[in-house]
């Protein structure tokens, strides 16, 4: 029985350290939440499988040449105005020579308060490809316009260099 208690303690400690940027876990259910260990995290990029596996996906570009681009694509345009609005679904067209495993973070804010955050990978073999479709709404964002920023980045050891970004306004 004593060995089982020690083993359980080690497992809890290991699971809680996966998401190192948190100051502390709030409860046992928080430690074992799927967003902490197994899925892309809305609260921390470090919980994605790439970081957990230690794969950076970085390859050195040919000497002196590298390029990256990030373009917004509206996938579902509810009101048909051709612009990103609350409730629309967006994705991104990603191109880069900086890495084989590019990621995009999308953050939207109203009056300086973050109301939406999503993160996803744009490469073959990404484990959660459905997260590439991002619906511009959340429980914190019930409507209205928001200022959004998308950042293209990759994992490089302990760093996550941003190689392209775009800003846009999601209308009401």
pLDDT tens digits along 118-134: 999 999 999 999 999 99
Average pLDDT of 76-83? 95
Residues with Cβ within 8 Å of residue 36, at least 6 apart in sequence: 15, 16, 18, 19, 25, 30, 47
CB 13 within 8 A of CB 28: no
Residue 31 banded pLDDT, cuts 50, 70, 90? very low
CATH number, span 52-170: 2.60.40
Predicted pLDDT at 65: 76
- What pLDDT does residue 138 have? 98
For the chain, the domains span 1-38, 52-170
- Across 19-23, 52-56, 154-158, the highest mean pLDDT is recorded for 154-158
Range 22-48 burial, b when 16+ CB lie within 10 A, else e: beebeeeeebebeebbbebbeebbbbb
Above 70 in pLDDT, residue 90? yes
d(CA 158, CA 155): 7
Q: How far apart are CA 129 and CA 126, in angstroms?
A: 6
Given this model, what pLDDT does residue 125 score? Answer: 96
């Amino acid at each position: 029985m004593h060995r089982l208690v020690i083993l359980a303690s080690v497992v809890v400690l290991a699971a809680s350290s996966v998401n190192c940027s948190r100051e502390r876990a709030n409860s046992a259910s928080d430690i074992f939440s799927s967003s902490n260990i197994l899925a892309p995290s809305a609260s921390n990029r470090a919980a994605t499988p790439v970081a957990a596996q230690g794969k950076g996906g970085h390859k050195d570009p040919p000497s002196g040449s590298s390029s990256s681009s990030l373009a917004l694509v509206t996938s579902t345009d509810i009101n048909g105005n051709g612009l990103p609005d609350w409730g629309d679904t967006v994705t991104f067209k990603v191109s880069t020579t900086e890495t084989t495993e590019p990621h995009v973070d999308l953050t939207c804010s109203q009056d300086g308060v973050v109301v939406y955050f999503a993160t996803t990978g744009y490469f073959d073999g990404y484990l959660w490809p459905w997260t590439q479709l991002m619906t511009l709404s959340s429980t914190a964002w019930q409507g209205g316009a928001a200022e959004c920023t998308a950042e293209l980045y990759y994992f490089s050891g302990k760093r996550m260099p941003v190689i392209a970004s775009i800003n846009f306004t999601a209308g009401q």
